[in-house]
Chain A
Amino acid sequence: MFSGNNPHKDVEVSSPPDDTVSALEFSPPSVPQTFLAAGSWDCQVRCWEVEASGKTVPKAAQNMTGPILDVAWHDDGSKIFMASTDKSVKCWDLASNTAVQVAAHDGPVQTCHWVKAPNYTCLMTASWDKTLKFWDTRSAVPIMAIHLSERCYCADVDYPMAAVGLADRGVCLYSLEGKPAEVKRVESPLKYQHRCIAIFKDKKTKQPTGFALGSVEGRVAIQYVNPTNPKDNFTFKCHRSAGTTGGYQDIYAVNDIAFHPVHGTLATVGSDGSFSFWDKDARTKLKSFESLEQSLTNCAFNHSGQIFAYAMGYDWSKGHEHYNPAKKNFIYLRPCFEDLKPRST
């Protein structure tokens, strides 16, 4: 296997996609094995089984007619939803290895999330067509369509909360209880373009209570929906090079954020090719890692918090001129349970 650039000697996922990874998700706890799904700009979603030994076995792949922008697992682990620039979302039934369209937009679909409520399930999709739609996947007509003020750039769902980051730097929060409804629009705590968003839970109640928002300006905002104290909300800088050319600091985009499902600490991956672990309650960095050769575009934790996956590939941060289709793309896995333990305060 071509080992490429792997300074941390992490497990390299076999048969990686042929173009930059755009989405990375582990299978839900409802299935005993661990599967990893990755969507890519090569228009394909691939699925591997990750064995306990660290061996990754390619299982299947599905194509869409445009690059994939997001993937989501059905809560029972039997299906993968795939959102594409071809303006559709398809549902890939893994048993039959067939895919059918379940959603449509007027523009590329940036995000898709499966909503599992006690009394209903549905698929939430958000697009550059400035709409947020909810789908009963059996119907070609959405059960609800909400107009957004701008294109969706990122979204996350953690029942009963959904958060959508927009191109105009707005963040819209929704309650999914009973049925989706907008709760409020939050003015962005960040001054630059939103890139990624991840909901976190309250340590005690285990209920979604806020979100982390990453921007193109090497900064993450931690924002509580209802902070007890306004100072609970804060931002921190990350993914910046320490004074390079001529004393300048290069500031990179935060491409993805993921919260550890057990510890509540978070990981960020950046355009600078590095990933870092943070404790938002102790407001401290837990660990940072040397940069890889190319940008890191996505990251994910498996449901038990044992495995951290991150994808390396060109993210277009320097324009099309720096795109080299010959460069290989990689997905790496590393054990992470210990590294992400919170700093005891």
Chain B
Amino acid sequence: MGRKKKKASKPWCWYCNREFDDEKILIQHQKAKHFKCHICHKKLYTGPGLSIHCMQVHKEAIDKVPNSLPNRSNIEIEIYGMEGIPPEDIKEHERQKTGGGKASDSDDDEPAAKKKATSALLGPGPSSVTPGILPTPMGPVPPGMYPGPMAMNPMMPHFMQQRMMMPGMRPLFPAASIAVSTPSKPTFPAYSNATISAPPTTSSAAADAKENGDVKPPAANSCPLVTATGAGSKIIHPPEDVSLEEIRARNIKYRPKPKPDAPSTPVSAPPMITPSTSQAEVAAHMSAAVAAARQQQAAAMRRPMPMGMMGMLGQVRVPVPVSMPVPVLPVMPQFNLMRPLQPGMLLPGGMMPMSAMFPGGVPGLPMMQPRFR
């Protein structure tokens, strides 16, 4: 591989925290899991590269790295193997692995040293390439920086002549124009001939929904909803692969209010959940709300349920044999003796005289609300 391995530390993926024996395998993993285009399955080299590819080729924006942890889904951050991992995340990972036993100095030195080495190596090399020209649609350059129309094909053979990299070398690209969170990350993956010579299938209009059906869409909620089934279509749905009702229910307008007579559980109004809240945060809020609500509910349920308010008159028997985990209540008597029979109420075995049920027909019932607002 031609790189120094971190001492006593297996390579791990920044996007999903998985560990690997070998950085090469880690890179393969990243390409297959995080940098793979969900539309045409092309494997890119970096997150920004994937983002640019999707934008140019499929006219679709990606906001999260596929299959990534919620706090590691930033598409703009440039990670390749172990390169580009922010120092604090490296520290955090080390801490988590060894419980803080590892000295932090060595960790800091390594990436810094590596960066220096890389830039020195590549200094005289590809500097002939103008910053604006990208070898493949993978550099973190916004589309505006392309010298001409975003035609991929003519540019790639051109690039091939200019820059035949040895595997393992990473060209230096100006990353200054991009809002990358850590500015000192110019490292780029090596470009293999195979990738370059196979132009991406633009306007895979032929790739209708059927074709794309071969790709297993991401598991529920793990990533953004796959929002296009081909180059020319778009699913009208918020990007999160969560039901519309769930998204709507998070809105402050629809959150259940605490019951007025609930016991004084310290349920403060949950913080406003904006649509951009990450899954993990939402899950945390919801489980906190559920736990609080469960308490309230337990209290509410403890109150004796008015027996037979259901008025399940008629031949109701609930057999449900032995495999039930809970005991069955004895069969309810046919009448609810606690509630006085009202004229117009259901008589055993009989049809309900509906006409008498509604407002005007049943005297003495105070709760009728015949009129809507």
Partner-B contacts on A (CB < 8 A): 15, 18, 22, 30-33, 35, 41, 46, 49, 58-61, 65-67, 69, 76-79, 84-88, 91, 93-98, 100-102, 104, 106-108, 110, 119-122, 128-129, 134, 136-145, 150-151, 153, 167-169, 178-179, 191-193, 195, 216-219, 237, 240, 243, 246-253, 271-272, 315-320
Is there contact, CB below 8 Å, between A120 and B320? yes
Is there contact, CB below 8 Å, between B256 and A168? no
Is there contact, CB below 8 Å, between B346 and A78? yes
CA distance A56 to B238 in the complex (A): 35
Is there contact, CB below 8 Å, between B256 and A85? yes
- Is B358 on the interface with A (CB-CB < 8 A)? yes
Q: A60-B359, A95-B346, A101-B305 are in contact. Are A250 and B249 (CB under 8 A)?
A: no
Is there contact, CB below 8 Å, between B367 and A98? yes
Can you list 15 A-B contacts (CB < 8 A)?
A: A15-B373, A31-B351, A33-B354, A58-B372, A59-B370, A60-B359, A66-B256, A85-B249, A95-B311, A95-B352, A95-B357, A95-B362, A96-B339, A319-B238, A320-B251
Is there contact, CB below 8 Å, between B307 and A120? no
Note all chain B residues with C-beta closer than 8 A to A67: 248-249, 254
CB distance from B318 to the nearest CB of A (A): 5
- Most B CB contacts (10 A, CB to CB) among A46, A58, A120, A248 go to A248
Note all chain A residues with C-beta closer than 8 A to B339: 96
Which listed segment binds A: B22-30, B141-149, B326-334?
Answer: B326-334
CA distance A121 to B310 in the complex (A): 13
CA distance A101 to B369 in the complex (A): 19
Q: Which 6 A-B pairs have the closest CB atoms?
A: A15-B372, A66-B256, A249-B233, A100-B309, A316-B248, A316-B244
- Is B236 on the interface with A (CB-CB < 8 A)? yes
Is there contact, CB below 8 Å, between A138 and B308? yes
Is there contact, CB below 8 Å, between B368 and A60? yes
Contact of B238 among A101, A137, A191, A317 (CB under 8 A): A317
Is there contact, CB below 8 Å, between A120 and B317? yes
Is there contact, CB below 8 Å, between B220 and A167? yes
Q: A67-B254, A76-B346, A137-B310 are in contact. Are A253 and B234 (CB under 8 A)?
A: no
- Is B259 on the interface with A (CB-CB < 8 A)? yes
With an 8 Å Cβ cutoff, the count of chain B residues facing the other chain is 85
Note all chain B residues with C-beta closer than 8 A to A138: 305, 307-308, 310, 312, 329, 332
Is there contact, CB below 8 Å, between A77 and B354? yes
Q: Mark B94-123, 1 if CB is under 8 A from A, else 0.
A: 000000000000000000000000000000
Note all chain A residues with C-beta closer than 8 A to B234: 248-251
- Is B219 on the interface with A (CB-CB < 8 A)? yes
Q: A41-B254, A251-B236 are in contact. Are A319 and B247 (CB under 8 A)?
A: yes
Q: Across the interface, name the chain A residue whose C-beta is closest to B328.
A: A143
Is there contact, CB below 8 Å, between B233 and A191? no
Q: A110-B245, A143-B324, A216-B237 are in contact. Are A61 and B351 (CB under 8 A)?
A: no
CB distance from B312 to the nearest CB of A (A): 7
Q: Across the interface, name the chain B residue whose C-beta is closest to A100.
A: B309
Is there contact, CB below 8 Å, between A66 and B351? no
Is there contact, CB below 8 Å, between B241 and A61? no
Note all chain A residues with C-beta closer than 8 A to B319: 119-120, 178-179
Q: Across the interface, name the chain A residue whose C-beta is closest to B357.
A: A95
CA distance A56 to B130 in the complex (A): 72
Contact of A86 among B256, B301, B310 (CB under 8 A): B256
Is there contact, CB below 8 Å, between A101 and B306? no
CB distance from B129 to the nearest CB of A (A): 33
Q: A22-B245, A140-B301, A143-B326 are in contact. Are A76 and B225 (CB under 8 A)?
A: no
Note all chain B residues with C-beta closer than 8 A to A49: 358
Which listed segment binds A: B157-165, B181-189, B290-298?
Answer: B290-298
Note all chain B residues with C-beta closer than 8 A to A240: 233
Contact of A144 among B232, B238, B241, B324 (CB under 8 A): B324
CA distance A83 to B307 in the complex (A): 20
Note all chain B residues with C-beta closer than 8 A to A253: 235-237, 244
With A31-B352, A87-B290, A192-B226 given, name 4 new contacts (CB 8 A).
A96-B311, A138-B307, A144-B325, A150-B220
- Enumerate B6-39 residues with CB–CB distance to A below 8 Å: none
Contact of A271 among B212, B236, B325, B367 (CB under 8 A): B236
CA distance A167 to B221 in the complex (A): 8
Contact of B220 among A91, A108, A121, A168 (CB under 8 A): A168
CA distance A49 to B236 in the complex (A): 35
CA distance A85 to B254 in the complex (A): 9
Is there contact, CB below 8 Å, between B329 and A317? no
Is there contact, CB below 8 Å, between A318 and B311? no
Is there contact, CB below 8 Å, between B352 and A107? no
Is there contact, CB below 8 Å, between B305 and A140? yes
Q: Across the interface, name the chain B residue whose C-beta is closest to A150.
A: B220
- Is B88 on the interface with A (CB-CB < 8 A)? no
Note all chain B residues with C-beta closer than 8 A to A108: 245, 249
- Is B217 on the interface with A (CB-CB < 8 A)? yes
Note all chain B residues with C-beta closer than 8 A to A246: 59
Q: Mark B204-219, 1 if CB is under 8 A from A, else 0.
A: 0000010011001101
Q: Across the interface, name the chain A residue whose C-beta is closest to B300.
A: A101
CA distance A88 to B296 in the complex (A): 12
- Enumerate B263-318 residues with CB–CB distance to A below 8 Å: 275, 286, 290, 293-294, 297, 300-301, 305-312, 314, 316-318
Q: A138-B312, A318-B236 are in contact. Are A46 and B290 (CB under 8 A)?
A: no
Q: Mark B29-59, 1 if CB is under 8 A from A, else 0.
A: 0000000000000000000000000000001
- Is B243 on the interface with A (CB-CB < 8 A)? yes
Q: Mark B323-356, 1 if CB is under 8 A from A, else 0.
A: 1111011001000000100101110000110110
- Is B166 on the interface with A (CB-CB < 8 A)? no
Note all chain A residues with C-beta closer than 8 A to B373: 15, 18
- Is B136 on the interface with A (CB-CB < 8 A)? no
- Is B179 on the interface with A (CB-CB < 8 A)? no
CA distance A292 to B114 in the complex (A): 61
Is there contact, CB below 8 Å, between A250 and B352? no
Is there contact, CB below 8 Å, between A249 and B301? no
CB distance from A136 to the nearest CB of B (A): 5
Q: Across the interface, name the chain B residue whose C-beta is closest to A30.
A: B351
